[in-house]
Amino acid sequence: MAQEYDRLLQFLEDCKDADGDAKYEKALSGLAPQNEKSLIVDWNDLYAYDTGLATTLLNEPQTILRELVAAASQKMLMRDPAYLQEIKTVRVRIRSPPFEIPIRMIRASHIGSLIMISGVITRATVAKPLITDAMYLCLGCAELMLVPQPYPTLQPPEKCPTCQSRRLLLDPSQSKYMDVQWLTAQERPEDLPPGQMPHGVRIRVRDDLVGKVNPGDRVKITCTIEAVQTDKTNLTLDSYLEANHIEAIGTDQGGLEITPEDEEAILELAEDPWIHRRLLQSIAPSIKGLEEIKEAILYLLFRGVAKELPDVRIKGDINVLLVGDPGTGKSQLLQYTAKTAPRGILTTGRGSTAAGLTAAAVKEKGGGFILEAGALVLADRGVCCIDELDKMREEDRGAIHPAMEQQVVNIAKGGIVATLNARTAILAAANPVLGRYNPYQTIAENINLPVTLLNRFDLIFVIRDLPNPEKDAQIVEHILATHRGGGVVAPVDPGLLRKYIAYAKRINPELTEESGARLSEFYLEMRKASLEGGEASAITITARQVEGLIRLTEARARLHLREETTVEDADAAIALTQRSLEQVGVDVTTGKVDIDILYSGKPRSLQVQLQVILNVISEMSRGGAVRDEDLYEALAGKGIGRAEAAKFIGVLMRDGTIFAPTPGYYRRTS
Ligand SMILES: Nc1ncnc2c1ncn2[C@@H]1O[C@H](COP(=O)(O)OP(=O)(O)OP(=O)(O)O)[C@@H](O)[C@H]1O
Ligand SMILES: [Mg+2]
Ligand SMILES: [Zn+2]
């Protein structure tokens, strides 16, 4: 042992960093100023120094760690005895041991050795005190004895060493404690075998590791497997992981490894003048048509550039909503996107709660609270696909609003106060209220979603299932081909596409003056058009849409791996935005794009007409009800035909502005 101790002491002295400085001496001297207790040792350094010791560390971690702690503490004693006195010992944490074990592959054979796992934290308990040394009071002779507690369950001494009495009492106030916290880690969605549920493990973290990570964080954990006997007769043991070191990994690559060969393939692909088209054709190739939606998904995957200003953070994420008739491929598109996006999550609004989407503090069996991450948090820096958004309960859906705007989730409950990141792009799908999309109604009437939620989406698309012999033939041919197995092959293989997206995120294209000018020109034109609508304008196209346009422009530049945006990028962003506005905002009466629909729920021309009718009803009824025939006649005098009048009356009846006290009579709901 002494031999290993000397060798490790030497290792701490000798190991050099890239600048030739003594790496661990430097790290040790940094502990006190930063109030840290742990020295982090890279396993590869030890391996380079002494292969044998590094291997023993993996097989007998307890022994070698004890020696390392002694060696590091000895160094601290020479350097700063006062600080050592304060922290008792220097903790030693091992980062990047070899052989990462997938969570689902952890086996009994790993018990006792040092392993590394990676995953995403889904739950965390609040910190609790753990007894490290239990103080026992002998009821026979009043002797106090401090008994170390190295095991997961409390081990009282058998009898008093002085008087042999077996009547011993635990004295909590004189026992010694350290912080302990339980975490649950799950396999990262991107590591899952297709169609598999994620496996999870329980992890115990102690001491200064407590509170280091939050639900939603992606982590690499160095740990040992501990088995506990919960019941003396049971042969199977409960097990958990005891963390030695936790490292949050926050890279944008979503856990994807990009090799130099990958990089070569990516750069070569980016040179292709048809790259945009090739990527577009690689988005959900089994779905025929829906080109503009696929383009929107493409930009959503690449996302715009997030800006960290001194006072605020402006998100770069693009949110897209698909509203459509049943069986039009929405769910398929969402599934595809969740699979392709680095850190993609697919969830359905049906049965989802606010907590399931964001995060929750839940009461544990034993009393305390645990913090549990929901879909938006798990998809941090990724894409969260929410199917059947309309099937969610109103109060649950409300939780999405702040997450979409601020991109964080705040939790303050049961002693847990946490802010979790939810920097995610959202792709959502919904059905129209009455099953099918009604073009004579506004988008807000067609889907049962509040306007405040609608205008948080950068792009909204309507998919209608209209019989169209030519298109139908194409789709059926396409589906048949897919089923025969000869379906369309994506020009860019999905694996490469994922890596391409992850790689592209390294680039933050700058918005050039020319492309910015193009966007502002479009914006001002839209503003003017909405003024020309007549009446003092209600809310019109807002700064929000400008930000959306910028994000789309940046995303398109990023897709080309360009450092700057071009006028073409801006034009494409404008064209896509226009397509979306036409689909949701087109005023069916005038045929003009009418942003008012998005915000007030009704096109302006319809609002004007409805107001005329309401005025007539008020005038004619004078507090009573008006007969329908009289009303039609009066309206005809104002140039509103019978069929049109019936439609408008229908609209007013549906929103409850008027009602029929007796059949054939109308009256205003005051
Ligand atoms: N344009 C299309 N091209 C190829 N296949 C399609 C197309 N539209 C729909 N399909 C096929 O029809 C089936 C139903 O699609 P999907 O489940 O995605 O519909 P949906 O829009 O989610 O419907 P719902 O609103 O009822 O949930 C899928 O198997 C899908 O492949
Ligand atoms: Mg569906
Ligand atoms: Zn005694």
Per-residue pLDDT tens digits for 425-471: 999 999 888 777 776 666 777 777 777 788 788 898 988 877 777 77
Q: Which residue, by CA, sits nearest to atom 31 of ligand 1?
A: 329
Best residue among 286, 332, 479 to mutate for probing ligand 1's pocket (most ligand atoms within 8 Å of CB) is 332
CA of 166 to the centre of ligand 3 (A): 8
Nearest CA to ligand 1 atom 11: 329
Give dist(CA 574, CA 592) in Å, integer. Answer: 17
Strand, coil or helix: 424: coil
Atom of ligand 1 nearest to the CA of 330: 21
Minimum mean pLDDT among 79-83, 193-197, 432-436, 530-534: which range? 530-534
- In the three-class reduction of DSSP (H, G, I as helix; E, B as strand; rest coil), residue 634 is classed as helix
Q: Which residue has the tokens 């005098």?
A: 637
In tens, the pLDDT along 487-506 reads 667 788 888 898 899 899 88
Asked whether residue 588 carries a pLDDT value surpassing 50, the answer given is no
Q: How far is the CA of 408 from the centre of ligand 2 (A)?
A: 28
Distance CA 580, CA 664 (A): 40
- Tokens standing for 129? 């005190």
Average pLDDT, the chain: 83
The first and second tokens of residue 328, run together, are 């039009």
Write out the two tokens for 601: 């729920």
pLDDT in tens, 341-392: 878 888 888 877 777 788 777 776 766 677 778 888 888 888 999 998 888 8
CA 389-395-397 angle, 5° bins: 25
Higher per-residue pLDDT: 533 or 439: 439
Q: Count the neighbouring beta carbons within 10 Å of the beta carbon of residue 331.
A: 17
Output phi, psi for 266, to 5 deg.
Answer: -65, -45
For 408, half-sphere exposure in the C-beta direction (CA atoms, 13 angstrom radius) is: 10
Tens digits of per-residue pLDDT, 94-137? 998 988 888 888 888 888 899 999 888 888 888 888 888 999 99
Res. 664: pLDDT tops 50: yes
Reduced 3-state DSSP string for 44-113: HHHHHHCHHHHHHHHHCHHHHHHHHHHHHHHHHHHHCHHHHHHHCCCEEEEECCCCECCHHHCCHHHCCC
11, 49 Cβ separation under 8 angstroms: yes
Q: What is the pLDDT of residue 591?
A: 46
Q: Identify the band that residue 141 occupies on the pLDDT scale cut at 50, 70 and 90.
A: very high
Cα of 627 to ligand 2 centre, how many Å?
Answer: 45
Q: Which of 33-42, 280-289, 446-455, 652-661 has maximum average pLDDT?
A: 33-42
| pLDDT at 536 (0 to 100) | 36
Atom number in ligand 1 closest to CA 325: 25
Helix axes 275-282, 291-302, angle to 10 degrees: 100
Around ligand 1, the residues with Cβ closer than 6 Å are 287-290, 324, 326-332, 431, 475, 478-479
